[in-house]
Chains A and B, each alone.
Chain A
Amino acid sequence: MLIEVFGPGCAKCQMLEKHAKQAVEQSGGSHEVVKISDYAAMAARGVLSTPALALDGQLKFQGRVVSSDDILALIKG
């Protein structure tokens, strides 16, 4: 699965990226975590507040740092 983390690089965005990587590690699967910090790309995806997270192209969370457990639950479906 493709996990995208949207954020310009503030502390919260880095935290979310870390949580996403932790969740991927715990899941044991081969998922890719991509960080997107370009504003135009964010806007095109409908991101209104950062940090935000998308799974396989679908926006899932925005405006807060979700825990690695929440992301893990999302990966497992």
Chain B
Amino acid sequence: MSHPASEWIAFRLFRLTPKTHLGEAVAFFFYDVPKVLLLLTLVVFIVTFLQTFVSPTKVRDALSKRRAGLGNALASLFGIMTPFCSCSAVPLFIGFLRAGVPLGVTFSFLVAAPMINEVALGMLFAMFGWKIALIYAGTGVGIAFISGLVLGRLKMERHLEGWVQDALNAPSLGEIAEEKPTLPERLNLALQGVKDIVGKVWPYILAGISVGALIHGYVPEAFMAGLLGKEHWYSVPLAVLVGLPLYSNAAGVMPIVEALLGKGAALGSTLAFMMAVIGLSLPETIILRRVMRPRLIATFVGVVALGILLVGYLFNAIL
């Protein structure tokens, strides 16, 4: 890599020696900070603008009373673009079920929405090209589709908490009128989104870049290839196990992905790691526990984790 500005900072300003662990780590850090922040700003602007055209209400109406199969496919696709915050998971879950969206279709959406993070998709496209972005989106949709189908078949309605079943049968108290923003309003919302999101996630990004820089500077290539290389059967489960408890913003995990791939980690293992970090998070699981009994939660996490494992093995096998 030759990046004059970051090398100037690392080797001239800080007087570090090139090709040393510390020197390379610092150069990586100063190369990635402006790059990731700029890309993130651009991606968030475009994504937030597009999201002004999609709303949970529209998705719910499109999915209401759909049959399994087509419903799961649509739910998984909608999950890519829908703005989703984990603190909305519960009202959204109940709102979907009330409107007659089947449980399995609702699950497809609940899996797709956090796992195929729209910002992560944009960042992958910008940093690693359309092929990797497409693999990420395609496998995410596949996992959401299949896990929703499976969970729907398991007939787990009785594993919802009692108050949820009551809430489902309570009479509705009216609906919100859909807003139709004008173009300047949409652009303004997009700018607001950039301010909100970039303003909130930059500590995650700095943390992610620091971890990426440490990997880049200090972890020997042979070690990483040995641990996460595709010839080892344990590399995918290992990546998922490490990624599960980690909770990071989608943008924060990108520099780590960058460093892992640079050190010879296999693509399947790296994608599995990334999906585990983004798609299954402890805070969201805790929130969903409010509506689902332990058995349903365990099934949900288990099915998604299994899907991620399959993706990891699949891509390690074919690439």
A13, A45, A57, A60 — most chain B CB neighbours (10 Å):
A45
Cβ–Cβ < 8 Å partners of B196 in chain A: 65
**Which residue of B173, B189, B291 contacts A44 across the interface (Cβ within 8 Å)?**
B173
Instruction: Classify the secondary structure of B's interface with A.
Output: helix
Given A40-B163, A40-B167, A46–B174 Cβ distance below 8 Å?
yes
Is B263 close to A, CB under 8 A?
no
Interface mask (A11-32 → B, CB under 8 Å = 1, otherwise 0): 0110000000000000000000
Contact B94 A46 (CB under 8 A): no
* Contact flags B188-215 to A (C-beta < 8 A → 1, else 0): 0100000010000000000000000000
Which of B3-11, B68-76, B85-93, B303-311 forms contacts with chain A?
A: B85-93
Q: Which of B60, B163, B167, B291 contacts A48 (CB 8 A)?
A: B60
- Taking CB atoms, residues of chain A closer than 8 Å to B83 are 49, 63
Q: A49 near B56 (CB under 8 angstroms)?
A: yes
Contact A46 B87 (CB under 8 A): no
Asked whether, in the complex, the Cβ of A48 is within 8 Å of the Cβ of B174, the reply is no
Residues of A within 8 A of B95 (CB): 43, 46-48
- Asked if A73 lies at the interface with its beta carbon under 8 angstroms from chain B, I say no
Cα–Cα distance between A59 and B175 once the two chains are bound (Å): 7
The answer to whether B88 touches A45, judged by C-beta atoms less than 8 angstroms apart, is: no
**Min C-beta distance of A9 to chain B, whole Å:** 8
Contacts of A64 in B (CB 8 A): 189
Interface of chain B residues 149 through 163 with chain A (CB within 8 A): 163
Asked if B85 contacts A49 (CB within 8 A), the reply is yes
A7-B87, A8-B90, A12-B85 known; A43-B57 Cβ under 8 A: no
Note all chain B residues with C-beta closer than 8 A to A45.
Answer: 173-174
Instruction: List residues of chain A with CB within 8 A of the CB of B56.
Output: 48-49, 62-63
Complex CA gap A6/B92 in Å reads: 13
CA distance A44 to B95 in the complex (A): 8
User: By the criterion CB–CB under 8 Å, are B174 and A59 in contact?
Assistant: yes
Q: Give 1 or 0 for each of B52-73: 1 = CB within 8 Å of chain A CB.
A: 0001110010000000000000
Is B290's beta carbon under 8 Å from chain A? yes
Chain A residues in 8 Å Cβ range of B90? 8, 39, 42
Q: Are A63 and B94 in contact (CB under 8 A)?
A: no
CB-CB under 8 A from B287, the residues of chain A are 8
Give bound CA distance, A58 to B174, whole Å: 8
Q: How far is the CA of A60 from the CA of B90 in the complex (A)?
A: 20
B87–A8 contact, CB under 8 A?
A: yes
Q: Mark B289-305, 1 if CB is under 8 A from A, else 0.
A: 01100000000000000
The verdict on A43 contacting B85 (CB below 8 Å), with A8-B90, A60-B176, A63-B55 known, is no
Chain A residues, CB < 8 A from B98: 43
> Can you show 9 pairs from A to B with CB atoms below 8 A apart?
A8-B90, A10-B87, A39-B91, A42-B91, A46-B173, A46-B176, A47-B91, A50-B85, A50-B91
The chain A residues found within 8 Å of chain B, CB to CB, are 6-10, 12-13, 39-40, 42-50, 52, 57-65
What are the 9 closest A-B residue pairs judged by CB atoms, nearest first? Answer: A43-B94, A59-B176, A10-B87, A49-B88, A48-B56, A48-B95, A40-B167, A42-B91, A43-B167
18 extra interchain contacts, Cβ-Cβ under 8 A, other than A46-B95, A46-B172, A64-B189?
A9-B87, A13-B87, A39-B291, A40-B163, A43-B91, A43-B94, A43-B98, A44-B170, A44-B171, A44-B173, A46-B176, A49-B83, A50-B91, A57-B173, A63-B55, A63-B56, A63-B83, A65-B196
